[in-house]
Structures are given as structure tokens and as C-alpha cells.
Structure 1
Amino acid sequence: MDFDTYRDHDALGLAERVAAGEVTAAELLETAIARAEAVNSRINAIIHPLHERARARAAGGLQGPLAGVPFLVKDLFQDLAGEPAHYGCRALRDADARAPEDQAYVQRIEAAGAVIFGKTNTPEFGAKGITEPEAYGASRNPWNTDHTPGGSSGGSAAAVAAGIVPVAGANDGGGSIRIPAACCGLFGLKPGRGRTPIGPPLTDMMHGAAVNGVVSRSVRDSAAFLDALAGPEPGAGFHPKAPATSYLEACAQPPGTLTIGYSTRSPLGTPVHPEAVAAVEHTVAQLESLGHRVEAAEPEFSGPGLGPDFLLMWFGQMAASVAEVRAHTGCSEADFEIDTRAMAAFGRATSAGDYIACVNRWQEHARRLAAFHDSYDLYLTPTMAFPPARVGEIVTPAWQRAALKALLPLGAARPLLKSGLVEQMAKENLRWVPFTQLANLTGVPAMSVPLHWTEDGLPMGVLFNAPVNGESLLLSLAAQLEQADPWFHRHAPLA
């Protein structure tokens, strides 16, 4: 299949061509590999090619609704047995860490018939909204390669936007599906807590705040992949309610007349760029033209508390991740990025009581968001407060890096925590993306929809939060918006 034809099909469209005998899975794979070889040097999306493994799979009999579709997984909690599992970490790269088994995500993707031919770039342990790990270098945005594709699923989003694949593996522990979708002009649905598998060996990550999913160019592709992935794995503590119909069928059902509250105010009290405001205003007008009721409204909780509570959870996660990698590889603290080392130190300096108090506050955030949804079907905000940043723009200042390197070995993490540093870090590090963490802390599904481009031609997504078990509602509305304001045939310059 030539590239132009390949690019003009979504994943389900390609699967239909394979099922009809018009093209083989092997031919589709070679088209995808050729496209990757043509553009990956410019965007650094794929860091572990798995071509021979994929060729062997494509040559066999494939079954399932996605049979023959070329696919990329993220190098973070989407492991394939015997293949690299580096998670953006230099220590794991240098140790040539390999996955002991296929994770459930991979098992379900392959059971649906998709052909995995590579793993994509991610920041160290997925802890940033950009994809610039020291281990593998920066991924770049196909809309403008001077800019970031977002993170932490930036490699996957860049690959989809560049036309390598129509859909790719992603996960989200603070916005990591929705941020790169917004940066790259893609659709990104973060499933609700427990909707998709995260292990083994884990059955949830960060109390269910982190979930697996995909980024895609079409709404129906995200729905079809969610159908393939959905369902708890053995031992899972979260069992969300199953939908009345398949998620793919939900795309074909009108959402009815919805009442939607919206806000363009940052919950951290930080600035919001006029393009982010324009993205929401454009969406409000589109929603009203479709007959929905839209009004300014936002949940009633202490916004600034969300940022510190989000970061405190990540501090604990980084402490555990660093300890696990050190035990596995024998590496030292110096083998991690300074930001990772700082987060891990803050995690170790946090008492168990403070951590549990933080998790308890998550539940209060969830109750207040549920009260908001008593009056509003959905909550609309910008996905990001600013357009996609330039590569290298969102970095820890040199003076701060030097101070951390000097202070952390002296055991200064606890005094720094008590000094109000967490609140300062929340504002500094989350000011680009202050809207996405709400869905992770509360466990609700949320989606970024590509409905706006800046004057410079960069994508700006808008974010919808739904109540618990609201994935079908989100997909129904997204399909309606996709039909009213299409984006599928709007290609990045690199594509």
C-alpha cells in the first residue's frame, strides 16, 4: 500500500482492507516500517524497533477486529517479553533491562490482531509533560519539529501525527495521553480508574491514577482499542461498571442534549494563554450549534490543593521506582536525572501519615467533582494552558539543578519540603498543564479533542471531564464533534 492511501485510513479502515483481502498484514507492516525509517530521525518517536518480531507475526494467521493493523507501544508499562523495558531511564538502558513477560496490555492488543513493531520514547518513568529523556533524547512535534509533542506519551503521539501508525499505545498518570494528543492534533481518551490493565505484576498504579490507553487520529479507533483493552486483570481492586453497549457502538449513538460547564481559569491561579481561551470559546460555540447547553461553571474545591496533592503522589512513586531500579541494576543515585532524584528524595522525606492524608484529600476532590456532575454532564477546559513549548523550554533552571545537586546529598529534602517548596514546584512545573491532573486524582475518564489550531499552525486541544463510568458519553460526544468539525484529514506538515 502506498503511503498516501495508508495515511488516509484509520486503524479500523486498514483492518477492513485486510479482512477484504485487498492488502495483507505483511504489506501494511512494510508500509509502516518504511514510513518510520523515512521520518523517525526527525522526530525521535521510536526508540526500540521490533521489525523482525513483527514480520514473523504478520506472516501468520491473525484474527480479531484489528487484524493486521501496525501498532506501536510505549516504553512504559506496555512490556513485551524479552524486549527492552527502559522506561526512559539511563540506568535501565545501560543494564539492557528486558521484560520478563508480556503485560496484559500487550496480550489484549495482540489478541485483537494488531501487529506491534516498535516501542516509543518517554520521559524518565513518564514523570513529565514533555518527552526529553537524557537516555534517548527529545522527541519532536511533526507540526513543527522545534516544538515538543508533549508527554509523557510524546513518542507515540509524534508517531501518529507523522503518519507512521494511525493509533499508538499511551498511558496517563497526570495527563500523559491528553497532553500529547493536544500538542499533536490527535484524539486522546484517558479511561477511568481500573478500566484497562496496568500489569502484571501490578494491578493498579498510584491508586488507579495511572491508566493505559491510546492516542489516535479518529474517535472510532480509540473506541475500538478501548473495547479490546477494557476489563480488570486478575487481582485488580477496581472494577468499573461495564458499558451498556460496546464503546465502538457508543460512537454511533447521539449524546442527546447535554449540559456542560466550562472554565478557562487555571486551578493553580496561573496564567492561561489567549490561544487556550480561544480553543474553549471555539468549542463552546460548536457545542451550542449542536444544541447543547453550555455555561460558565467549575467544581467547588480548592484548586491550589490539587497541584501539591498530585506532586506528593508522584514523589512517593519516584522514591519507589528509584529504589526498585537500584536494587535491580546496582546503579547509583547519579544514574538518574536530577529531577527524578529530587522527586525521589522528597518522596523518601514524606511521612506515611502525610502521604495518607494526601490520599484522603483525593477522595474529597472526588466528592466535590461528583457534586458538580449532579448539575453538569461534562466539564470543559483547555487541555493545556499554553501552546506546545519549544524543545528545551520546559527545563529545571540551571541554578536550581545546581542547588539540588548540592543540597540533596546533605539530607535537605525534608527541610525543603517544609519550606513550601512543593507549592512552588506545583505552580512552576504544572503551569503549562494545570488542567489534566483533576481526572487522575479523582479517577474519572477524560478526553482531549483537537478542535483548535493556533495562528502559528500548532494544535491546541480542549479537555472534557466526565463522571465515573462516563467513557461512552465522552466517545458519543467526540464522534459528534468529529463529524461537525473534522480533523482526520488535517495533516501535520511532516505527514
Structure 2
Amino acid sequence: MERVSRVEGVNYQQYDGLGLAELVKRKEVHPKEIVAEAIRVIEMHNPKLNAVINKLYEKAEAMAEEIDLNGSFAGVPMLLKDLAQEMEGEKITFGSKVYQDHYAKVDSNYVKQVRKTGAVLIGQTNIPEFGLMGITEPAIYGPARNPWNTEHTPGGSSGGSAAAVASGMVPIAGANDGGGSIRIPASFCGLFGLKPTRGRTPVGPLAGRSWQGAAVDLILSRSVRDSAAMLDALSVYEKGAAFHALPFEGNYLSQLQMNVDKRLKIAFTVQSPLGNKVDPDCKGAVMKTAKFLESLGHHVVEKEAPVDGRKIVYSFLTMYFGEVAAHLASLEEILGRKVKMNDVEMTTWIVGLIGKATSAKEFVLSLREWDKAALEMEIFHETYDFYMTPTTAMLPAKIGELDPSPYEKLAMQVSGSLGFGGILKKAGIVEQVAENNLKRTPFTQLANLTGQPAMTVPLHLTQEGLPVGVQFMAAKGREDLLYSMAGMLEQSELWVPVQSNPFFKLV
């Protein structure tokens, strides 16, 4: 049998996941050959991109021998994110040296469902430590790089997954999103990325909630239909979960065939909720999309969401600080000793100290802001089908650009060694570092806190050749509406093909 790269004269990289699965089901190619081709492309591109940090080639080859042809992704190579997507017997490091000898005892429920699709799990992808940043530059593995321009970040925290999919290593890769970690890297790498409704996909069995319900798992993909098919596979009732989304009657994949012939009401803004500047290309992508949708007969109006954007960001940060403090505390069970400052990266340690200095009152009040915003957005969506914004306020940073300044590093080192979390909190140093990062990506946190589904769609390319995403939010439970819109946009002239990036030409 011919190698998959020669099947019908089309390269492996030009197939999406469902396309490869169809070849397998028609027995035009064996899963072993697809896996071999994926390994070849990973070995070609990974030295430059540093997207894959744990290769599971032998297990993947064995898995390819026992594929269930009934699965939607039968024989399709897939990478898992090195965070909350545990695979029994395999290392899971959360992007941190403190976990470098940590192995998963069981499959996560996410992985259990993915296995049922017939996908072949071929490795794990690079992330920032504990998934805390919108860039992927962990000390333990080094930076992942953007296939469109390797001087730039692919974003985070699903940055390794985004770089792998965008470069053609695999058609799909695991991702999760607690503040934009699916949508930010998807935007930076020219991919499709959807964050589902809170409670739609599994988080167990090791947890009943992730980041108080802000974080949810799905994938990054080049095609809309791969994302929809995987959400169909992952939409299961989970007994131990703290949150459950209302079941969707039907399947998401079929929504791509639904004509968007209803006159939709779309509100949009290009103003940052933090009040900072928004890059002209990020604004332009939204304005261009608004004009296109209006030309199709939809009602498009410029209108900001009825929430306090600054309160949303600071409510997010309160949770963020608290979750890091709790994570560091839970490490003591794993290590059998108290956690030390040099166990983790300096920024992680300082964020944990801030979390320890955050009161229970502050934490509860911040969660109340989530609920208030959720109600306000549900009422908003009684009028508007979509809320459209730039996915990010800025283009991807260059590698190393967001490192703390020498002054910030010194202040953090001194305060960290002395345990001065309260002093740092009052001084606002960590908030300054966090806001410096969030001002680049201030649009994504809202959907995490309200629990709404949100997606980014690749609809613009800068003169420098960097992709730019446009974000759409819908009411809770309306992933179907988002997929219908995405399916229509994927067929439009606005869609930026990911195959335009340099790594697709290096096959």
C-alpha cells in the first residue's frame, strides 16, 4: 500500500481529522501509515517549533493496530495537552519541573472519551507552567514557537497544541481554556478554536471542577467540522462534575450544514474592556467581518456588553491567584514535603503568595461578580444572537518580550524569599505583571466567567503575514449557533487558510 502522503496525490497535512478517518474507513490507507507520516512531520518541524515535549511513538504504533473503525476519528493522530489530560502510565508535568517525575495513575475522563473516537494518541504538547500564561515559554522545556513566524509566540496556554496543528504535525490536538487558552493560541496560529459551555465536557475523575468552572476542555483544529465532531464525542454526563450543561438535542457536526438564513442580530465592539489600545489589525478584522455579515442581510450594531470589563478581569485574577495558591499547597502531598520557592518558576511562586494573601471574602465576592455578569449576558443574548469582538487586543508577542523587567524580577525574588505576599499585593507588582499580559488578551475572560461558549475564527492576515482571529460569543448552551456561523464563514472569502504558513510548505 502506498504511503499516505501519496494517496490520491494529496499530502497528509492537507487532510483534516475527519478526512483522514474517512480514508481509514474506506481502507485506502492503514492507520500505521498515517501514524508513520505524522511522526515524520513531527520530527521535521518540532526541532524548530518545540511544540511536542513527550513523544509516545511506540504506544501510538501499537494503538494503530487496534483501531475501531466505527470511531469518528479512527486512525487519526492526535496530541494531548500536558495539562488535565492525563494518560494512564504516562508522564504529566503541567509544564513544571516539580512534576518532572510525575506519572498519571488513570486516564482522565477526557482521554477516555477521546479513545472511543479511535484517535491515536501520539504525544503531549508544550504549555506554560501550570497553564498560567497567554504565552508558552516554560523554564523546563523552553519556548514553543509560532509556525507563521518563529520569532513570535503561538500563544498559551495551549501554545504547543496550536503550533503542532498549525504546522501540520497533526490535524487535531487537545486543548483547554480557563481564560482564553484555546482561543488565544488559535487566533495567533490561524486555527479554529471553540470554548464550550461550562459543564459541557468532562473534567474528572481527579476533579469535579477546574478553576471554579472557568476552565473547559476541547481541541484545536484546522477545520470547523473536526471541532464539532469532537464536541459530539465529548458531550457526556459526568457524575462527579460540579457543573452540567443542558444537553443538546442533535449533533454539532450537522450544524455546519444548516444554512444561516435567519436574519441574525449581532452586537460587536472593538474597544478593550480594560480601556487600553487595540491593534489596528485586530480592530480591522472585526470591522471587516461586521461589514461582510451586514452584506448578507444580518443586523449588525456596535454595542459593548453590559458588564464592567475591569471588574471581570480582576474577578478573574482573584480566582487565578487563589487557584495557584491551592495548587502549590496540594503539591505537598505529592512531594511529601513543603513546597519551596525554587520548586517552581518565580512568577508562579509569587502568584501563589498573592493567593495566600487573598481572603476568603475577596474570593467569594469575585465569584459573585461572575454570576452577576452571567445574568447580564443571558439578558443581553435575548436580544443579540452573537457578541463579536477581537479575539486579542494585540498581535502575538515576540519570544521573551513579556518576561518581567529586571526591577520586577528583583522585587519578586526578594519578596518571594521572604514570603511577602501581602506586601506584593499592596504594591500591585504582580497585578502590574498580570495586567501587562491581560491587556494583550482582555476579550476572552468574560466567557470563562459567565460559562458561555465562545469561538475564534481566522478571518484576517496582517501585512507581516500573521493571522488574526475574530471572537464570537453566544448564550449558554448555544454551541450549535456558533458552529453554524463558523461553517458559513469557513466557506467565505474571509477565511485565512492555515496552509499559508511556511511550515506547510516544508513537507
Question: What residue in structure 1 maps to residue 137 of structure 2?
Answer: 132
Q: Do structure 1's residue 87 and structure 2's residue 94 form an aligned pair?
A: yes
Quote how far apart the aligned CAs of 1:232 are. Answer: 3.0
Amino acid at match of 1:83: E
Aligned to 1:120: 125
- 1:199 paired residue number: 204
- Report 1:155-234 matches (<5 A): 155-234=160-239
1:23-62 equivalent positions in 2, closer than 5 A: 23-62=29-68
Match for 2:87: what amino acid? Answer: L
1:241 aligns with 2:246: yes
* SS in structure 2 of the partner of residue 494 of structure 1: helix
Q: Which amino acid aligns with 2:208?
A: T
Matches of 2:224 and 2:16, distance apart in 1: 10
Q: Is the 8 A contact 1:307 1:426 kept in 2?
A: no
Displacement after TM superposition at 1:366 (Å): 1.2
SS at 2:267's partner residue?
strand
Matched residues, number: 493
Structure 1 segment 257-268 matched on structure 2, within 5 A: 257-268=263-274
Q: Which amino acid aligns with 2:113?
A: R
Q: Which moved more, 1:321-330 or 1:63-72?
A: 321-330
Match of 2:464 among 443, 456, 465: 456
Whole-angstrom distance in 2 between the partners of 1:247 and 1:488: 22
Separation (CA, whole Å) in 1 of partners of 2:169 and 2:432:
39
> 5+ residue gaps in structure 2?
none
Q: Secondary structure at the match of 1:149?
A: coil
Aligned amino acid, residue 387 of structure 2: Y
1:78–1:106 contact (8 Å) kept in structure 2 = yes
Q: For residue 422 of structure 1, report the CA deviation from its aligned partner.
A: 6.4
CA distance in 2, matches of 1:394, 1:437: 19
Separation (CA, whole Å) in 2 of partners of 1:235 and 1:405: 40
TM-score (norm 2): 0.95
Question: Post-superposition shift, 1:488?
Answer: 4.0
The one-letter code of the counterpart of 1:197 is P
Match of 1:466 in 2: 474
Answer whether contact 1:270 1:427 (CA < 8 A) is retained: no
Q: Distance in 2 between matches of 1:219 and 1:298?
A: 27
Shift of 1:434: 0.5
**CA shift for structure 1 position 257:** 2.0
TM value normalised by structure 1: 0.97
Matching residue of 1:274: 280
**Contact 1:157 1:186 (C-alpha < 8 Å) held by counterparts:** yes
Cα distance in 2 for partners of 1:489, 1:249 equals 23
Q: Give the one of 65, 81, 103 matched to 1:74.
A: 81
Q: Secondary structure at the match of 2:35?
A: helix
Measure how far apart 1:280 and its partner are. 0.6
Q: 2:357 aligns with which of 349, 355, 362?
A: 349
Report how far residue 385 of structure 1 moved. Answer: 0.6
1:77 maps to a residue whose letter is A
Q: Distance in 1 between matches of 2:371 and 2:431?
A: 20
Q: Is the 2:134–2:437 contact (alpha carbons within 8 Å) kept by the matching residues of 1?
A: no
Equivalent-residue separation in structure 1 for 2:80 and 2:431 (angstroms): 34
Instruction: Report the Cα offset of residue 423 of structure 1.
Output: 5.4
TM-aligned CA deviation for residue 425 of structure 1: 4.4
Return the match for 1:408 from 404, 412, 416: 416
**Aligned with residue 5 of structure 2, among 2, 21, 28:** 2
User: Are the counterparts in 2 of residues 69 and 114 from structure 1 also a CA contact under 8 Å?
Assistant: yes
Counterpart among 469, 491, 494 of residue 500 in structure 2: 491
- Structure 1: 5+ residue runs without aligned partners? none
- Percent of counterpart pairs with the same letter? 47
Residue in 1 that maps onto 2:370: 362
The two structures, once aligned, show a CA RMSD in angstroms of 1.4
* One-letter amino acid matched to 1:314: Y
Q: Which residue of 2 aligns with 1:285?
A: 291
Equivalent-residue separation in structure 2 for 1:168 and 1:336 (angstroms): 26
Contact 1:156 1:170 in 2 (8 A): yes
Segment drifting more, 388-397 vs 319-328: 319-328
Q: CA deviation at 1:420?
A: 4.8
Matched residue SS, 2:121: strand
Identify the match of residue 311 of structure 1 among 313, 317, 334: 317
